[in-house]
């Protein structure tokens, strides 16, 4: 008999009741093992949820982040590693320790401080209920009107590159009075879980001391993540145009300057119908000596991208009429500065708008589409190093530097306002 014949004969043997019982027993055993395994996994998950906070140290995972300071107060935001209570204390003008009321929402914590003095630094500490120190910092209130102040500005930063972290250190060392961002805070899609590595950590020394004013870039709104991240993380003014989401467009004042932040991701129709009238109003109603507008997509650029028609058609005429001094943007990952322009042509006598592209904050740099050609309206273009802008305002004088990695000065220029008439 061959092996095949033997196998066929075995398969033809009838199945006995004993065989059926053994098979059923094995199946019951396997089901019990599966159920026991599932029960063990569920028990382990519940146990970790209950004892996790005891096993993993409680900490401030993101922040502190200073928001909306004034001459008499400020807001501070931070995120805990666990949803547990936290306390915030600061040293008041008289040297006493003041405990502020902490607002809680899941792991997010926030305090709103008031009764402070202008141009002062206030040391603060965040600790748990057992008085264990979790974070410390020193926040600065706005300087009194009429005094000199400075700010840093940059964009297209959030890729967690070594240069992003290096620029973060350099900006903090300059000790500006606040920071402004031209958009694309976190690549590739502005997702909330990327913020720690690509925003909070590289700018920790800066944002724990002074205000950070963000602007929405195209990557920040990709797949709708601004709802999850941008609007959750930041506490911004709700003074934007009616009919659009609060905080996407807003304005603020510092000293003798007004800053207007615009969401340039909007299509031309909404820019014309909603943003443009609001922009004209907030610019013309202000008596500020200096006026700045910040948006992501550049009105004028000779980089990788073409100039943005929707901005030229809707916002540029208003900025020219309202006497805007500098319009800042990003999107092109490089630094560019135009001559003063009106209607796309170079002007003299301080009557035009200077357009600055400061989009070299840390993401991969771009090559210009036509590297050997520069239009006559473009004064400077630098795309070989990451960089940020540093602006100092003193009365009617503006001093500007574009600073690259390792503190190299890439560009330096100045504006002087005519003497004000009483």
Structural contact between residues 217 and 156, judged by C-beta atoms closer than 8 angstroms: yes
Q: Compute CA distances 77 → 118, 177, 250, 274, 308, whole Å.
A: 20, 18, 19, 30, 35
Q: Are 334 and 362 in contact (CB under 8 A)?
A: no
Could you identify the residue written with the tokens 């305090």? 111
Q: pTM for the whole thing?
A: 0.86
pLDDT band at 54 (very low <50, low <70, confident <90, very high): low
User: Kind and range of the H or E element at 11?
Assistant: helix 3-11
The pLDDT tens digits of the residues spanning 142-193 come to 999 889 999 999 999 999 999 999 999 999 999 999 999 999 999 999 999 9
Q: What is the pLDDT of residue 143?
A: 97
Q: What is the pLDDT at residue 45? A: 64
Percent of the chain whose predicted confidence (pLDDT) is above 70 = 90
Q: pLDDT for 126-147, tens place per residue?
A: 999 999 999 999 999 999 988 9
Residue-wise over 119-131: b if at least 16 C-beta within 10 A, else e? eeebebbbbbeee
How does pLDDT run across 244-264, given as a tens digit for each residue? Answer: 999 999 999 999 999 999 999
Instruction: Pick 149-416's CATH classification: 3.40.1410.10, 3.60.21.10, 1.20.1050.10, 1.10.1060.10.
Output: 3.60.21.10
Which is more confident, 39 or 215? 215
The CATH architecture one would assign to domain 60-140 is Sandwich (2.60)
Question: Rounded to whole angstroms, what are the CA distances from 264 to 109, 216, 383, 422?
Answer: 30, 8, 23, 37
Residue 55 pLDDT exceeds 70: no
- Determine the Cα–Cα distance for residues 311 and 300; give it in Å rounded to an integer: 9
pLDDT band, very low/low/confident/very high, at 224 (cuts 50, 70, 90): confident
- 10 pLDDT band, cuts 50/70/90, is very low
Q: For position 34, what pLDDT does the model report?
A: 67
Q: How far is CA 145 from CA 141, 150, 164, 166, in A?
A: 12, 13, 32, 32
Residue by residue, DSSP assigns 61-86 as EEEEEEES--SS-EEEEEEESSS---
β-pair type (378-382, 335-338):
antiparallel
Query: Tens of pLDDT along 335-381?
Result: 999 999 999 999 987 689 999 999 999 999 999 999 988 999 999 99
Q: Which two tokens stand for residue 367?
A: 């090559």
The answer on pLDDT for 397 being more than 50 is: yes
Q: Are the C-beta atoms of 150 and 177 separated by less than 8 Å?
A: yes
Q: Where is pLDDT greater, at 39 or 336?
A: 336
Predicted pLDDT of residue 53: 52
Q: What is the end-to-end Cα distance of the chain in Å, rounded? A: 120
């Amino acid at each position: 008999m061959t092996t095949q014949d033997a196998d066929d004969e075995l398969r033809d043997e009838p199945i006995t009741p004993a065989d059926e019982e053994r098979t059923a027993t094995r199946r019951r055993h396997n089901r019990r093992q599966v159920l026991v395994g599932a029960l063990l996994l569920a028990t382990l998950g519940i146990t970790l949820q209950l004892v996790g906070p005891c096993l993993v140290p409680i900490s401030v995972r993101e922040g502190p982040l200073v928001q909306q300071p004034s001459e008499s107060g400020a807001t501070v935001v931070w995120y805990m590693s666990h949803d547990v209570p936290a306390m915030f204390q600061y040293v008041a003008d008289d040297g006493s320790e003041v405990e502020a009321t902490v607002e809680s929402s899941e792991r997010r914590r926030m305090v709103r401080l008031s009764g402070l003095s202008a141009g002062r630094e206030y040391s603060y500490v965040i600790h748990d209920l057992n008085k264990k120190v979790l974070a410390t910092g020193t926040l600065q209130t706005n300087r009194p009107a009429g005094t000199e102040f400075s700010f840093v500005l940059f964009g297209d930063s959030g890729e967690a590159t070594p240069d992003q972290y290096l620029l973060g250190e350099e900006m903090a060392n300059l000790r500006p009075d606040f920071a402004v961002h031209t958009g694309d805070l976190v690549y590739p899609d502005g997702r909330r879980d990327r913020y720690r590595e690509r925003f909070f950590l590289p700018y920790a020394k800066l944002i724990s001391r002074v205000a950070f004013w963000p602007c929405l870039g195209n990557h920040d709104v990709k797949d709708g993540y601004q709802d999850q991240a941008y609007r959750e993380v930041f506490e911004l003014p709700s003074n934007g145009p009616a009919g659009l989401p609060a905080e996407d467009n807003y304005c603020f004042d510092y000293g003798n300057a007004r800053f207007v932040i615009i969401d340039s991701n909007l299509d031309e129709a909404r820019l014309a119908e909603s943003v443009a009238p609001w922009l004209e109003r907030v610019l013309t109603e202000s008596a500020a000596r200096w006026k700045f507008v910040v948006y992501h997509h550049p009105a004028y650029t000779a980089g990788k991208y073409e100039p943005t028609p929707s901005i030229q058609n809707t916002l540029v005429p208003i900025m020219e009429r309202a006497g805007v001094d500098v319009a800042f943007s990003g999107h092109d990952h490089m630094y560019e500065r135009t001559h003063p322009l009106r209607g796309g042509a170079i002007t003299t006598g301080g009557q035009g708008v200077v357009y600055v592209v400061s989009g070299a904050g840390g993401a991969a740099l771009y090559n210009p589409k036509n590297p050997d050609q520069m239009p006559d309206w473009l004064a400077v273009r630098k795309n070989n190093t990451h960089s940020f802008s540093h602006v100092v305002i003193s009365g009617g004088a503006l001093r500007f530097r574009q600073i690259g990695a390792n503190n190299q000065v890439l560009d330096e220029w100045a504006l002087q306002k005519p003497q004000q008439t009483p």
